[in-house]
Structure 1
Amino acid sequence: MPGSGAVTRNTLRQQIADALRDEVLAGRLAAGSEFTVKQIAEKYEVSATPVREALVDLSAQGLLDSIQHRGFRVRVFSVDDFRGMIEARTLIVEGIFRRLVERGTAPGSGERLVSVRRRAEEARRAALNGSLEVLIGYDLRFWRELSGLVGNIYISEFLHRIRVQCWVFAVPYLKSEPDLRAGLWAGHNELMDAVTRADAEEVRRLVHAYNQHGLDWAAGLKAAGA
């Protein structure tokens, strides 16, 4: 069938991009790691074309740097980069909740709120258990689905990109924490409760506490010479 080859290649391209993103998020591909298209193609036993396209996609998302004549490198983020991410994240999240709480959620979003609440419960459970990889997956889904209630794909995608970058920076440091649970935010359920009640003041308080948690953690890293 005409066009089926392109569909297959694009699907493979996305699968490779997703797999590599998961490797970076889990810290198995550490910041600064370098590799070539050939190495990744051999690892996944696929042709070079979809691999190259996947790596270009991840570069566009800010997770990889392209190194001329050498391949790609996992981007290294600094503490200052992380603080900048939180600042950007704060502005977006505040706008999202202002829309959800003050103007109401989008029509037909009731069932979607149930889905977001499930993500919130799983994320909170993972945070309290110190299950980092599980938390990352549910946390990303939680914020993506919650921001999706606004009905603006550009906002949702931009927030998701920043959140992925935040996790990429944080994972190596969190893994070295003696008590991992102390460094993880677990307020997903409380935030969902406030959104459901349309309690604007409580939402603002929780979002502020959430962002301050990240800033305080970054300050601790800075003081430790990270």
Structure 2
Amino acid sequence: MQQNLRERILKQLRSEIISGESLPGTLYSVPALSAELDVSTTPVREALLELANSGLVEPVRNKGFRVSRPSMKELHDLFAMRDLLEIQAAKLMMADTPCDTEPLKHYAREIERAVKEDDVRAYLVADRSFHNAMFMASGNELLAKTALSLRDRMRLFGIRSGAGVDRQRESVGEHYSIIELIDAGETGELITLLQHHILSWRPIFSAALEQDDLRTRKKRLLGSQS
């Protein structure tokens, strides 16, 4: 029961941070969050410690945990590693044919529904499940866990912006195309599409992170002048 509660809290907090609802600098207090969720402090603390291990938050002495602010280099490094690992997972998956795409079809429909309903959280959950199913189909458990961990560290800056919403809509068709290419055994075309699918988000996230950095520097400058 405690484990399930911790996982539920972890899932909620991760979604808030990754989706940009909780901006860099947001402070999570264990007692305050426990009271808000009406749970004991133990599962909340455990969830925040796991987020700290993944780099999404950092402990602040006597205060709690603060949402960390990634650098532009960290963002680009994450994209490079995701491209490397997710492509390798896809190659392994395609080598182990036939691949059952029924779970992917289910998640693709969930992604489409989330985009139609403008539900970013639901989109992220379904997208994570879609790609995790592909990772697991690689047959390499360590690779699958590492690839999923990298996705969970990726801060989706700008996903709610106009460009981010447009990209979500574009990705709906891409998920269905990924399934079609898997079913057809077209490994080369699948790899090309997956690289586009991953890297098309990079300029959106980079631009949003740069804007956030500018706002932060402006606040600091104004604060120093007051």
1:131-210 mapped onto 2 (5 Å cutoff)? 131-166=119-154, 169-171=155-157, 173-175=158-160, 177-178=161-162, 180-184=164-168, 185-186=170-171, 187-210=174-197
Cα deviation for residue 127 of structure 1 reads 4.3
Find the residue that maps to 2:200 and give its secondary structure. Answer: helix
Moved more, 27-36 or 91-100: 27-36
Q: d(CA) in 2 for partners of 1:19 and 1:223?
A: 26
Q: How far apart are 1:218 and its partner, in Å?
A: 4.4
> What's the counterpart of residue 46 of structure 2?
53
Unaligned 5+ segments in structure 1 are: 1-7
The aligned counterpart of 1:104 is 96
Distance change >3 Å, CA 99–CA 125, structure 1 → 2? same
CA contact (8 A) 1:33 1:73 kept: yes
Secondary structure of 1:22's counterpart equals helix
Cα RMSD after superposing both structures: 2.6
Identity over aligned residues, as a percent?
A: 20
Is the contact made by 2:19 and 2:156 (CA closer than 8 Å) also made in structure 1?
no
**CA pair 40-93 structure 1, distance change in 2 beyond 3 A:** same
Q: Determine if contact 2:34/2:44 at 8 Å carries over to the other structure.
A: yes
Structure 2 CA distance for partners of 1:130 and 1:180, relative to 1, 3 Å: farther
> How far apart, in 2, do the equivalents of 1:74 and 1:218 lie?
17
Q: 1:65 to 1:123 in 2, by over 3 A?
A: same
Asked whether the 8 Å contact 2:159–2:205 carries over to 1, the reply is no
On the 8 A contact 1:79/1:218 being kept in 2, the answer is no
Matched, 1:119 2:103: no
Structure 1 residue aligned with 2:221: none
The residue type equivalent to 2:139 in the other structure is G
Say which of 66, 70, 92 aligns to 2:63.
70
Partner amino acid for 2:191? R
1:43 matched residue in structure 2:
36
- What displacement does 1:224 show? 6.2
Aligned length: 210
- Structure 2 CA distance for partners of 1:213 and 1:71, relative to 1, 3 Å: same
User: CA, structure 1 residues 221+58, in 2 after alignment: closer, same or farther (shift >3 Å)?
Assistant: closer
Instruction: Give TM-score scaled by structure 1 length.
Output: 0.80
> Which residue is 1:3 aligned to?
none
CA distance in structure 1 between the partners assigned to 2:20 and 2:210 by the alignment: 23
Measure, in 1, the Cα distance between the counterparts of 2:164 and 2:202. Answer: 17
Which amino acid in 2 is paired with 1:104?
A: D
TM-score (norm 2): 0.80
Listed as ranges, the matches of 1:205-220 within 5 Å are 205-218=192-205, 220=207
1:139: Cα distance to partner? 0.5
